[in-house]
Amino acid sequence: MKKTIIITGGAGFIGSHVVRLFVNKYPEYQIVNLDALTYAGNLENLTDVAKSPNYTFVKADITDYETISAIFAQYKPDGVIHLAAESHVDRSITDPFAFIRTNVMGTCNLLHAAKELWKEQMEGKRFYHVSTDEVYGALENDGTFFVETTKYDPHSPYSASKASSDHFVRAYHDTYGLPVVISNCSNNYGSHHFPEKLIPLAINNIKHKRPIPIYGKGENIRDWLFVEDHARAIDVIFHSGKNGDTYNIGGNNEWTNNDLIHLLCSIMDRKLGRTDGESAKLITYVTDRAGHDLRYAIDSSKLQRELGWKPSLQFEEGLEKTVDWYLANEAWVDRITSGEYQQYYEQQYSNR
């Protein structure tokens, strides 16, 4: 069936994988990538689909309601998959207001524009908010998991802004009958990941023999999911998720930061022809992140049971693929690590 879908944040890490999947898999859909191209947005992520007849890019800022409403009036989307966000916890500690503007106000602008466009006919429409497991707070290292009914308990300005936007999505469903769906996903890794996040940062630093900063004691635990598995989950939930429902997405793949970095170092030693143990010497323990959540772990059995999704890759295999991509795409990393990101990087780490 012909449909127009606006994907926000399509020039970013996860968004570019979602855009690529939808453009290639659904030639009958018109995919509109709406992105402000902040420091994290890079159209180079999408050169392979840029000329596809069912793909359009629109540069716009979701914090500007007039612009968003005009874009909705022009394209008349049947669906919105909303990923645009400020996404880095460390940046949220330095500048929480940017997160309130984009993640809270921006999401409300999109919800309102969708409600205004669809108010006569909500049937067949869908507003999908791509959210994070960080809204649930932190787990102890006790074998428990986040489920869809876990109480929200965000700790960082990032997770508080995502929790707030989730609440607004549900409020628009309950108050105005907006057809919505939400997913809360664990940490992603894979290609096109901005090198301020742990895995791409470490790959880049290992390559250049620079220190690998591990916060605190490195005992924090994350549940890592290959980004293309996340994109597949988004496809399934967008098409088959129940109106008003929430789905947790995770890799069932918990690693302490210490174990993860040691695994990455040994993969990199092998790929770069270094002796085993050489890269691990770059590990440098630095001041812990303020309010650093100890552990995230997702129970995704609802999504697996009800919609038949499951992760496709073992972590070691996914990590190898990711390292290969970064080593083959040095120019991508070099362009990103110049400019604004460079200034931010220096400012962040000069005092550590």
Residue span 104-133 as binding mask against ligand NAD, x where in contact by CB under 6 A, dash where not: --x-----------------------x-x-
Contact of residue 19 among ligand TYD, ligand NAD, none (CB under 5-8 Å per partner type): none
Q: Does 198 bind ligand TYD (CB under 6 A)?
A: yes
The answer to whether residue 158 is catalytic is yes
Residue span 185-214 as binding mask against ligand NAD, x where in contact by CB under 6 A, dash where not: x-xx-----x--------------------
Contact of residue 75 among ligand NAD, ligand TYD, none (CB under 5-8 Å per partner type): none
Q: Of 35, 78, 86, 134, which one is the catalytic site residue?
A: 134
Residue span 83-102 as binding mask against ligand TYD, x where in contact by CB under 6 A, dash where not: ------x-------------
Return the range that interacts with ligand NAD (CB under 6 A); candidates 4-12, 277-285, 294-302, 325-333: 4-12
- Three-state SS letters, the chain: CCEEEEEECCCCHHHHHHHHHHHHHCCCEEEEEEECCCCCCCHHHHCCCCCCCCEEEEECCCCCHHHHHHHHHHHCCCEEEECCCCCCHHHHHHCHHHHHHHHHHHHHHHHHHHHHHHCCCCCCCEEEEEEEHHHHCCECCCCCCECCCCCCCCCCHHHHHHHHHHHHHHHHHHHHCCCEEEEEECCEECCCCCCCCHHHHHHHHHHCCCCEEEECCCCCEEECEEHHHHHHHHHHHHHHCCCCCEEEECCCCEEEHHHHHHHHHHHHHHHHCCCCCCHHHHEEEECCCCCCCCECCECCHHHHHHHCCCCCCCHHHHHHHHHHHHHHCHHHHHHHCCCHHHHHHHHHHCCC
| Catalytic (active-site) positions | 133-134, 158
List contacts with ligand TYD (CB under 6 A).
89, 187, 197-198, 201, 213-215, 220, 222, 257, 289
Residues that bind ligand NAD (CB under 6 A): 8-9, 11-15, 35-38, 40-41, 61-63, 83-87, 102, 106, 130, 132, 162, 185, 187-188, 194
